[in-house]
């Protein structure tokens, strides 16, 4: 990603400030082409021979896979080397083990002797920055997301105490938990289509899509009725991905249940394919199907919630 971003800067030097344009003309080269920084595609031996000092910036930052883990495996046994961890590390990752574990430990039958440092290099706001942000905006509701459960709980309690006089409500929802926020905005709309049946049956809470036509008339309709009442055709996109898988099913199930509460085993269906041997559903959104021939298939609907569960 940095390489692609720098290509954009490199292309539009003429739109930069005078300092950048002058340096480009003076050196006859782009200031975004760095002399001592090289982008490499892999961690092959001829790229990192280990004879000369170098700094390798690799991802992912928690050392769970990819280039960073490959370099760690190669360099961890030499006490002359060092690993600098930038940012947060989740429980259960190698990075977390390096931060929390005192002294040396073994990794893949090798003694880890390299030094480990942790620095704060995160684009996320800390407690003080979040508090100042809330103080300036004075919102009625604050929703905390993308954080470790215990730390988010502490931040929620701190913000609730800090802004108690403002009646600010602070939420720290779990994955897939719905947060309901009330707005005192009066709107009049006609409930049409299949939603009208729910009103007739006496249901007080009705969920739908609020549509405003060219004349300013508001209608509340069900998503299945959008084509009839708003001339908006709808469709459903289902994504299917196959991955090579050589581990035990229990390991995947344990990992899923550690993140989500709603993980259930279901019967194998005909649409799962002839090679399916077991299937699980996560949060009623994503199907994880174990297949013969060492394949794992993941199926999910193209939606915000479905993609979020799949990405995890």
Catalytic sites, residue numbers: 124
Biggest distance spanned by C-alpha atoms of the chain? 78
Please give the Cα distance from 259 to 177 (Å, whole number). 13
The beta-strand segments (E) located in the chain are 82-86, 106-107, 110-111, 115-119, 141-143, 169-171, 190-191, 209-212, 218-221, 238-244, 263-266, 276-282, 286-291, 295-301
Eight-class DSSP state of 79: T
Torsion of CA 219, 223, 224, 230, to 10 degrees: 40
Supply 29's token pair: 């080269």
d(C-alpha 63, C-alpha 118), whole Å: 13
């Amino acid at each position: 990603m940095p390489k692609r971003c720098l290509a954009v800067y490199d292309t539009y030097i003429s739109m930069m400030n005078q300092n950048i344009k002058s340096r480009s003309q003076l050196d006859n080269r782009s200031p975004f082409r760095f002399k001592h920084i090289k982008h490499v595609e892999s961690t092959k031996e001829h790229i990192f021979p280990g004879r000369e000092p170098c700094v390798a910036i690799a991802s992912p930052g928690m050392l769970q896979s990819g280039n960073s883990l490959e370099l760690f495996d190669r360099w961890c046994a030499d006490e002359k080397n060092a690993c600098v961890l930038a940012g947060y590390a989740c429980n259960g990752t190698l990075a977390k083990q390096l931060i929390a574990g005192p002294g040396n430990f073994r990794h893949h039958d090798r003694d880890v002797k390299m030094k480990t440092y942790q620095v704060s290099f995160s684009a996320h706001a800390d407690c003080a920055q979040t508090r100042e942000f809330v103080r300036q905006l004075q919102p009625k509701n604050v929703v905390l997301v993308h954080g470790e459960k215990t730390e988010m709980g502490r931040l929620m309690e701190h913000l609730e105490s800090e802004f108690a006089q403002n009646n600010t409500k602070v939420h720290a929802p779990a994955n897939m938990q719905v947060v309901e926020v009330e707005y005192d905005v009066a709107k009049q709309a006609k409930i049409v289509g299949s939603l009208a049946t729910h009103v007739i049956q006496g249901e007080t809470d009705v969920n739908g899509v609020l549509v405003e036509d060219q004349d300013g008339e508001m209608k509340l309709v069900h998503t299945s009725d959008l084509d009839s009442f708003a001339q908006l055709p709808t469709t459903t996109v289902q994504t299917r991905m196959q991955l090579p898988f050589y581990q035990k099913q229990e390991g995947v199930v344990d990992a899923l249940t550690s993140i989500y509460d709603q993980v259930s085993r279901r019967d194998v269906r005909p649409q799962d394919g002839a090679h399916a041997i077991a299937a699980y559903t996560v949060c009623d959104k994503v199907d994880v199907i174990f297949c013969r021939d060492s394949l794992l298939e993941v199926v999910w609907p193209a939606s915000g919630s479905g993609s979020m569960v799949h990405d995890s």
